Every structure is written in structure tokens, then in C-alpha cells.
Amino acid sequence: DSGVTQTPKHLITATGQRVTLRCSPRSGDLSVYWYQQSLDQGLQFLIQYYNGEERAKGNILERFSAQQFPDLHSELNLSSLELGDSALYFCASSVDKGAEYGYTFGSGTRLTVV
Amino acid sequence: KNQVEQSPQSLIILEGKNCTLQCNYTVSPFSNLRWYKQDTGRGPVSLTIMTFSENTKSNGRYTATLDADTKQSSLHITASQLSDSASYICVVRPNTSGTYKYIFGTGTRLKVLA
């Protein structure tokens, strides 16, 4: 157990729908990072939050949004889902803003859009 | 452009054999380089981290080397086991203090056969 908790582990939904993925960072970590990993692809950085504020943005679609709450858990909202959004979504957390000392990944949420 | 390239893309070896995975990067200035192991459907787990001043770092049967002059790193796996079957990802952090910025390679998929 890495200490980073992601729920749900699996999600199956239809095209056009909206889903919310949840991440609880490791205790003491203030930064949360979201990644998308499509089948046989590398990890694509989506977005980072630090202590409730958006800190860095990667290749996140406009249909996707995220936020970090006062208790530091984060949610990734995916809307108007398309078949191509099917992927593993990982959350990672670090204690600092820049992950100078690395970060810890959760076990992911597997999203299947049918 | 900052890039991280890994080779081979995939590799199949027999249990008990050794193997070496390569990572070439063009990231500059460079802060540190990490190797991650990602089991299928799971989050990446850190194996080693090396700063620009380190040449080698071991973690059990895993040994990473770094040549900052040629911008090359390798991950050597000794006496492979079936559980080593996974993707191995090289990740480079540019020298951007306080800012999240990691460059991911696309990984090498290793399959160890009995």
C-alpha cells in the first residue's frame, strides 16, 4: 500500500456521460498530480494541485477538470466522455510543490467508456 | 526540446538471465533521474533515483547507472525473476527548483519467461 488511495478501482460508463475520480494523497503530502495512461502508452501528465491551488497544467482536455479540497483530497471530473478516454488514471502525491524528492503513485482507476 | 527515449521498447528473457535497459535523455539542465517499475494495471513504483553527481545506484537486483556527460542511463537487472515482468520507466527531472516538471520515457516492457 503506497498510502495514496484512489477510488473507484474500476469504472465502466457510456459515451457522453460524466464521471468523477477521487484521490486521497499520502498523509502529509500537499501536492496531488493526475496522469492518464492509455493502453500501451506512456504516462501523460494532466494537472497538479498544491494545497488547494492549481500549480501546473499538462495535456488536460477542456472536458476534464480537477480540484483539490481543504482536506487535500482531489477529484478529477471527466465529462462528455468519448471512447478514447478509456484509460488508466493515476494520482500521485508529494510533500512539496515541485516533487523534488519524488512522488508516490496510487494504484489507479481503470475507466472504460463503451 | 527535452526528451527521454528508452530502448528497447520491449524485451523477452528467460528466468535467471540478466538484462539491461537503456535511457537516453536530452534534458538540460538536469536535476535527477529515476527508474520506476510499473506492474500491469498498477501505479509506478520508484526503484532508484540518481542526481547528476552519482554514477550508480543499486536496489537489490536492480542497478542503475548514469553518465551525465553522454546523457545516458541504464537499468541492469540481475538474475531475473518472473515477478520482474513489468514496464520500466525512466523519468528525468530538469533543474527547475520549486516547479513540478518531470519528463517521462515511454518505458520498456519486460517479459520474463519460465
**Span A43-67, pLDDT tens digits:** 888 999 999 999 999 889 999 999 9
The answer on pLDDT for B35 being more than 80 is yes
Residues of B in contact with A112 (CB under 8 A): none
Given an 8 Å threshold on Cβ–Cβ distance, is A41 in contact with B42? no
Answer whether A108 sits within 8 Å of B34, measured CB to CB: no
With 90 as the cut, is the pLDDT of residue B90 above it? yes
Q: Which of helix, strand or coil describes residue A107?
A: coil
pLDDT of residue B100: 65
Q: Are A43 and B100 an interchain contact pair (Cβ–Cβ within 8 Å)?
A: no
pLDDT of residue A108: 95
What parts of chain A have a pLDDT lower than 50? none
Average pLDDT over all residues of chain A: 93
Each residue's pLDDT tens digit, B41-61: 889 999 999 988 899 999 999
Contact A43 B44 (CB under 8 A): yes
Q: Is A107 on the interface with B (CB under 8 A)?
A: yes
Which of B45, B5, B68, B62 shows the shortest CA–CA distance to A107?
Answer: B45
